[in-house]
Amino acid sequence: YLSDVFRFEKISIVGPQAVILLLVCLVISTIADSPKDIPIYIPLFVLAIMPTIFKCQYYKMSEIEAVTRASGAQIILAKLVLAGAVNLVCMTVLIALEVYLQNSYKEIGQMILYCLVPYLVCMVSMLRLIRLRRMESISTCVVIMIGSCLCWGISAKFMPWVYEVSAFGIWILAFLFFTVFFIKEIYFIITMRKEGKMYGVIV
């Protein structure tokens, strides 16, 4: 089933993320970048998968998806798995580039958290919008992703103590906190799939 979804959605899943990755790598390579700037870029990768995730809402096809054999929940779960796999590849490339530019592996643990925490925040926000809101969830999600980039940029500039080694525990707690919410949303999608129900509202 994943291969079928990938066959239809591969360009919309891989293409935008590849473009974002290329642009981010160019930015990192040409400016005085530091690992604490990583969270600024991560919401862009979630933004890149929005056209695929919100496709049925945008084209008002939710009702048709709800009555298919696969169900809307299974379709969105497959898209999340495929998009998540590409997201992980992009984040790995991003971390590898940062390690190369910094010429040090000392902060690799922090860099992984700098990727995962913003990613989980954005994914949880997007999934909850899909589940709880109607058509306006698309524009709301875009605002959240762009706002998240700005917030991480502000924190990197005006709250540098958050990115010091002493604050490592804060990042771990944030990671665990949002992981719980993310797992709950995924569990909810799986439950809906087993029951043959739609994940989210029908528009």
CA separation for the pair 176, 172 (Å, rounded) = 6
> Exposed/middle/buried for 170, CB within 10 Å: 0-12, 13-18, 19+?
middle
pLDDT of residue 71: 57
CA separation for the pair 142, 56 (Å, rounded) = 16
CA 185 to chain CA centroid, nearest Å? 14
CA separation for the pair 62, 36 (Å, rounded) = 39
What residues contact residue 102 under an 8 Å CB cut-off, 6+ apart? 34, 35
9 is written with which tokens? 């959605």
Is 56 a residue whose pLDDT tops 90?
no
Is 81 a residue whose pLDDT tops 70?
yes
Selected residue with higher pLDDT from 34 and 44: 44
179 is written with which tokens? 């992981």
What confidence tens digit (pLDDT) does each residue in 124-171 have? 999 888 877 666 778 888 999 999 999 999 998 888 888 887 788 899
By percentage, how much of the chain surpasses pLDDT 90? 36
pLDDT of residue 112: 93
Mean per-residue pLDDT, 24-43: 86
Q: How far is CA 152 from CA 40, 96, 101, 103, in A?
A: 5, 21, 21, 24
